């Protein structure tokens, strides 16, 4: 009898362990930095996030926002005259001289490639007259055009101010939006550029070690570094493996080694566990007697090892992992004519999600229990 119970306990325990192994792969990531996110650049889905909505100091990652704002609101061929205020800017520079005339396009290159704080101030003064006026316009632009929710900038370059903050998720949104612009994409992905300034002739080389190849990683398409004492190390990276485009943001790492190692972890995680798929406008989803469709064709992020489509009776589509963890949500549009036959698809109501693997284990558990009961009954005889 005792042996029978030991066998039953062992088998039952095995099932419990198997059920628990369906924890999300996110648990495997060892992110020590204070905040991080990896996002599908085409869908906007957050594939992994740590403190993704926490307010953080971005340092020079601010320049990503400054650049796309300037590209969309200025004339790249405009000639900008450098002021004394620009020359006196603190931090990393491209060493602009008072009275020097530089095109807006060249200032953008100096700002993004060499992280020139002076170039950023020159851009702000040219577009809006001052840092304050520029920041007001930039904040409005970021909210209305890109849809950020937790960002407030007080300057164009990211020098520390306690009221100058953003989040890892907002920065990923800003970067994704900017990467759709060809001018930004080209500058953001530039490894080196000849700089012919009035008093500084040199070759600008990106500070981003993965972009310039010091830390090899296939498919890197762009990057920006940042550092001030209060923010520590910050890093934005974009990558494309030919099938999926990712944006990784890491904030407040203690050192450069950590921030690059964790960026690699994030990119590996995204590429190895997800794919970008396309849903045509003709795609419909059925739940009970209601039918829903997409308003427009769209890209979605799907787990590579299996996906659950879950639709609520109000038409909210949730794209989930096999473990029922939501990756992306999409609001569907009801089809006017409702249908009454049962749907033949993977779609089901949110209220009663189907986990096929758990159902399988349940069936096996009942079978084992029945076998155990038979053995006990036989033993009693």
Q: By residue range, what is the domain housing residue 258?
A: 34-273
**Calpha distance 355→361 (Å, rounded):** 10
Q: Do residues 112 and 177 both lie within one domain?
A: yes
For position 94, what pLDDT does the model report? 98
Of 273, 289, 310, which residue constitutes the final position of a domain? 273
What pLDDT score does 374 carry? 54
* Residues whose CB falls within 8 Å of the CB of residue 172, separated by 6 or more in sequence, listed in order: 37, 38, 39, 46, 247, 248, 249
Q: Are residues 215 and 106 in the same domain?
A: yes
State how far the Cα of 122 lies from the Cα of 74, in Å rounded to an integer: 13
pLDDT in tens, 225-279: 999 999 999 999 999 999 999 999 999 999 999 999 999 999 999 999 999 999 9
Q: Determine the pLDDT at residue 286.
A: 87
pLDDT, residue 22, reads 27
Percent of the chain predicted with pLDDT > 90: 73
Handedness of CA 135, 120, 248, 241 (dihedral sign): positive
Residues 173 and 317 both lie in one domain? no
In this predicted structure, the answer to whether residue 361 has a pLDDT above a threshold of 60 is no
* Residue spans of alpha helices (H) in the chain: 2-20, 62-73, 84-87, 104-113, 117-128, 131-141, 168-179, 182-188, 256-273, 356-380
The total number of structural domains in the chain stands at 3
Task: Tell me what pLDDT residue 372 has.
Answer: 53
> Do 153 and 4 share a structural domain?
no
Same domain, 120 and 234: yes
Looking at the structure, do residues 167 and 297 belong to the same domain, yes or no?
no
Are 104 and 74 within 8 A, CB to CB? yes
347 pLDDT higher than 60: no
Q: What is the CATH number of the domain that holds 41?
A: 3.40.710.10
Same domain? For 301 and 216 the reply is: no
**pLDDT at residue 371 in the model:** 52
pLDDT of residue 3: 42
Cβ burial, residue 274 (10 Å; 0-12/13-18/19+): buried
As annotated, the active-site residues are 60, 63, 115
Same domain, 16 and 41: no
- Answer whether 246's CB lies under 8 Å from 271's CB: yes
- Closest to 36 in 3D by CA, of 223, 188, 169, 200: 169
315 plus 376 within the same structural domain: no
pLDDT in tens, 301-313: 999 998 888 999 8
Backbone angles phi, psi at 190, to 5 degrees: -75, 130
Q: For residue 25, what pLDDT is reported?
A: 52
Among 273, 291, 312, identify where a domain stops.
Answer: 273
Looking at residue 336, its pLDDT comes to 76
Say whether both 186 and 261 belong to one domain.
yes
Same domain, 48 and 143: yes
* Same domain membership, residue 251 and residue 153: yes
Q: Which candidate, 30, 34, 27, 28, places its Cα nearest to that of 51?
A: 34
Backbone φ and ψ for 36, nearest 5 degrees, come out as -160, 155
pLDDT of residue 145: 97
Torsion over CA of 276, 282, 287 and 288, rounded to 10 degrees?
-160
Structure confidence at residue 288 as a pLDDT band (50, 70, 90): confident
pTM: 0.82
What is the mean pLDDT of the segment spanning 373-381?
A: 49
């Amino acid at each position: 009898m005792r042996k029978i119970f030991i066998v039953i306990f062992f088998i039952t325990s095995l099932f419990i362990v198997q059920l628990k192994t369906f924890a999300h792969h996110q648990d495997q990531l060892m992110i020590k930095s204070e905040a991080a996110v990896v996002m599908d650049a085409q869908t906007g889905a957050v594939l992994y996030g740590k403190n993704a909505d926490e307010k953080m100091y971005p340092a020079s990652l601010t320049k990503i926002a400054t650049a796309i704002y300037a590209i969309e609101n200025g004339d790249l061929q405009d000639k900008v005259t450098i002021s004394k205020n620009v020359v006196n800017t603190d931090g990393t520079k491209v060493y602009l001289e008072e009275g020097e005339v530089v095109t807006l396009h060249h200032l953008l290159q100096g700002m993004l490639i060499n992280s020139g704080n002076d170039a950023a101030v020159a851009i702000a003064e040219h577009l809006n007259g001052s840092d304050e006026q520029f920041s007001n316009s930039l904040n409005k632009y970021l909210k209305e055009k890109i849809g950020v929710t937790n960002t407030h900038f007080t300057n164009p370059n990211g020098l520390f101010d306690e009221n100058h903050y953003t989040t890892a998720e907002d920065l990923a949104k800003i970067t994704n939006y900017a990467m759709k612009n060809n001018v930004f994409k080209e500058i953001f992905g530039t490894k080196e550029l000849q700089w012919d300034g009035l008093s500084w002739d040199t070759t600008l080389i990106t500070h981003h070690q993965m972009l310039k190849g010091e830390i090899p990683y296939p498919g890197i398409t762009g990057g920006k570094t940042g550092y001030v004492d209060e923010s520590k190390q910050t890093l934005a990276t974009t990558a494309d493996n030919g099938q999926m485009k990712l944006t990784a943001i890491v904030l407040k790492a203690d050192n450069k080694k950590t921030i690059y190692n964790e960026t690699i972890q994030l990119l590996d995680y995204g590429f190895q566990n997800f794919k970008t798929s396309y849903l045509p406008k003709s795609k419909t989803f059925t739940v009970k007697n209601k039918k829903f469709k997409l308003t427009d064709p769209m890209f979605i992020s799907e787990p590579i090892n299996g996906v659950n489509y879950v639709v609520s009776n109000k038409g909210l589509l949730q794209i989930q992992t096999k473990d029922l963890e939501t990756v992306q949500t999409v609001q569907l549009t009801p089809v006017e004519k409702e249908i009454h036959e049962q749907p033949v698809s993977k779609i089901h109501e949110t209220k009663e999600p189907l986990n096929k693997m758990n159902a399988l284990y349940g069936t096996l558990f009942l079978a084992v229990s029945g076998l155990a009961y038979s053995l006990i009954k036989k033993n009693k005889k």
